[in-house]
Structure 1
Amino acid sequence: MALFQSNNPVLNEKALQKAGSSSSEGVMTINGTIGKMGFLLLMVMAAAVYAWGVPARQQNPVPFLIGGSLTGFILAIVMVFKKEWSPYLAPAYALAEGLFLGVISVLYSNLYEGIVLQAVVLTFGTFAAMLVLYKTRVIRATERFRSIIITATMGIAFFYLIAFVLGMFNIHIPFLHEGSAVGIIFSLVVVAIAALNLILDFDLVETGAAQGAPKYFEWYASFGMLVTLVWLYLEILRLLSKLNRR
C-alpha cells in the first residue's frame, strides 16, 4: 500500500497550497516536523514489535496483516482530503502501519535470517544519505528533477496495480518476485526512485516552514515522509529477498 504515495501524492505542492497560510494555532517549523516524525516512527516501531510476537503467541497474523494495511490505507485517503485532521489520524496511521510491517517483517525473517535488521539499517541509512545530499545541495529538487521522479513513481504504481490485477487471475510477472538478474535490477530501480522521493519530501517540508504553513501541516508532512519510508523499507525487503534467493 505504501507505493501509492509519492510524488509523493500525499506530500506535494498542491497539499501545501491547500493548507494555506498560518493560523492562530501557530506556524509550521522544521524542528516541529522533526519531532513529530520521530514520534510517529516510535509508534510504528512499538506496533511492529507487538505484531512481531503474534506468531509466537500462536495468534492468527492475518487480521494484523490485512487490518493494518487496510486501516492505514483508509486513514491515508482521509488525511489527503482532510489534512487538518492529521494531528489525530497520523498517529493512528503509524500504529496501523506498524502492525502491518511487524507481520510482514516476521514472515520475511522466517525465510531469510537477518534480513529484517539489514532492511532496517539500509532504510535509515538511505534516509540519512538522502538528507545529507539534500542539505549539501548535491541533489536539488528542481522542476525537472521533480517531474522525472513524479513520472517514474506513477509508472511504478501503475505497474504494481497491473500486477495486482493480473495476480487475481493467477497471472504472475516473473521478475517481480524472482531473484533473476532482471528482477534484481527492477528492484534496485524502484528502491532508487523511492529514495529520491525523500528529496521531494525534504524540499516540501522546508518550503512549508519558509512559507508559514499552519501548525497541523507538521503532522501531515511527517505522515507523508512516513509513507515514503514505509514504501522504501518494503522495497528494500523485496530486494534483499531476491538477493538471498540467488
Structure 2
Amino acid sequence: MRSNNPVFNRSAEFNGTATQNAYGNTTYPGAGGAQPGYGTPQQPYSDPSTWSTGGPAAPVATDRMTIDSVVQKTAMTLGLVILGAAITWYYIGDISYGTGLADQAAIGKLSAAIMLGSGGAFILSLVNSFKRVVSPGLVLAFAAAEGVALGALSKAFEAWYGGGIVMTAMLGTFGALAGTLATYRFFDIKVGGKFRTFVIAGMFGMVGLSLLSFVLSMFGIDTGLFGTGGLGLVTAIIGLTLGVFMLILDFDFVENGIAAGLPERESWRAAFALTVSLVWIYTNLLRILAILRGD
C-alpha cells in the first residue's frame, strides 16, 4: 500500500514496492542487485568453522524494526529536543529585569534562537522527509535544531503569559500521545487512503498558510491567522486536531512496518515522524493556552 506521507513514501519497504526473486532475495525497483534475504543459497566455499554437523542451525540476525527499536529511537530524538530546549532556555536568561523593563540582550538571544532553530529545523525536516535512505545523523540534527527553536519559543510564552503555560502544554502533549495511542489500539482504527490524503493536505495547507502569514507580516500585513484573536484560536484548534491525526498515521505506518519486517534503520524514519507530530501538537497547545488566558 503506497503512502501519501512524504516522510514514508521515499521508502520502498513502507510502500510495499520491494519484491523477492526466485531465490527469496529482496530486490528494489531501480536497483540492479539483490539484498540477502531468507532462503539465500550458501556459497560453494565457506569457512570450515561455519560448517554444520547436523545440529540445530544458528539463529540468523535479522535486525528488523520492532516496537522497542521505534521507542528507543523516538526517546533519543525527543530527549535531544528537550535537552536543546533546556540549554536554549537557560542560555537566553531572564527576559525582563523584574521591573517590567525588557532585557534587550536576552530579547536578541531569543530572536536569534527562534530564527536559527526554526530555519534549520524546517530545512532538515524537508531533507529528512524526501530522503530515500533515512539518515540517523540528519534526524538527530533536526531534533537538536527543533530543540533550540522550542526552547526560545517556550521562553517567550512563559515570559508573556506565565502561570506554568509551558509545563501545561508539555503535559497536554504527552497526554495527547497516550490518548491517541490508546484510542488507536482499543478501537482498532483502520487508516484509509482518503484519510491519509486529507491529513497530509491539511498539514501542507497549514504550513503554507504559516509561511504566507510570515511573509505578509514582513510588509506590515497582519492576517490574524496565527494571532491571539478568534481566528487564531480557530487555526490553533484545527492545527491541534491535525496533529492528533498525524499521530494516527504514524502509528499505522509503524504497525504495518513491523508486520512487514522492515529493516531496523526504518525505526529512525518512524522516530522522525513521531517527533514532528508531537512538536506540532505542542506548539498548537501553547497557542491555544495563550489565547484562552488572554493578555
TM-score of the two chains, using structure 2 as the length reference: 0.73
Pair 1:168-2:218 in alignment: yes
Pair 1:131-2:181 in alignment: yes
- Among residues 118, 141, 165, which one is paired with 2:191 in the alignment? 141
Write the deviation string for residues 184-239 of structure 1: whole angstroms up to 9, x where unpaired. Answer: 23321221111111000110111111112222110111011101111111111111
Q: Equivalences for 1:177-216 in 2 at 5 Å? A: 177-180=227-230, 182-216=231-265
Q: How many residues of Structure 1 are paired with residues of Structure 2 in the alignment?
A: 238
Q: Say if 1:19 and 1:106 are closer, same or farther in 2 by CA, change over 3 A.
A: farther
Q: Which structure ranks higher in relative contact order (CA pairs < 8 Å, sequence separation ≥ 6)?
A: 1
Distance 2:120 2:16 in 1: 25
Distance 1:19 1:232 in 2: 32
Distance 1:19 1:94 in 2: 29
Distance 1:96 1:167 in 2: 24
Identical-residue share of aligned pairs (%): 34
5+ long unaligned stretches in structure 2: 20-25, 27-34, 37-61, 95-104
What is the SS of the residue equivalent to 2:222?
coil
Distance 2:294 2:233 in 1: 11
Answer with 99-108 or 55-64: which moved more.
55-64
Distance 2:182 2:16 in 1: 29
Correspondence for 1:242: 291
Distance 1:227 1:173 in 2: 25
Answer with 163-172 or 227-236: which moved more.
163-172
Deviation at 1:39, TM superposition (A): 1.4
Write the deviation string for residues 16-38 of structure 1: whole angstroms up to 9, x where unpaired. Answer: 23895876772222221111101
Q: Say if 1:148 and 1:98 are closer, same or farther in 2 by CA, change over 3 A.
A: same
Write the deviation string for residues 24-58 of structure 1: whole angstroms up to 9, x where unpaired. Answer: 77222222111110111111111111111122286
What is the SS of the residue equivalent to 1:53?
helix
- Among residues 163, 168, 179, which one is paired with 1:118 in the alignment? 168
Q: Say if 1:184 and 1:70 are closer, same or farther in 2 by CA, change over 3 A.
A: closer
Correspondence for 2:87: 50
Correspondence for 1:4: none
What is the SS of the residue equivalent to 1:178?
coil
TM-score of the two chains, using structure 1 as the length reference: 0.86
Pair 1:156-2:244 in alignment: no
Distance 1:196 1:90 in 2: 22
Which residue identity is paired with 1:199? Answer: I
Correspondence for 1:30: 67
Larger Rg: 2
Distance 1:20 1:30 in 2: 22
What is the SS of the residue equivalent to 2:221?
coil
- Among residues 273, 281, 294, which one is paired with 1:224 in the alignment? 273
5+ long unaligned stretches in structure 1: 1-6
Distance 1:153 1:77 in 2: 13
Distance 2:240 2:233 in 1: 10
Correspondence for 2:76: 39
Q: Say if 1:8 and 1:228 are closer, same or farther in 2 by CA, change over 3 A.
A: farther
Which structure features the higher share of helix residues?
A: 1
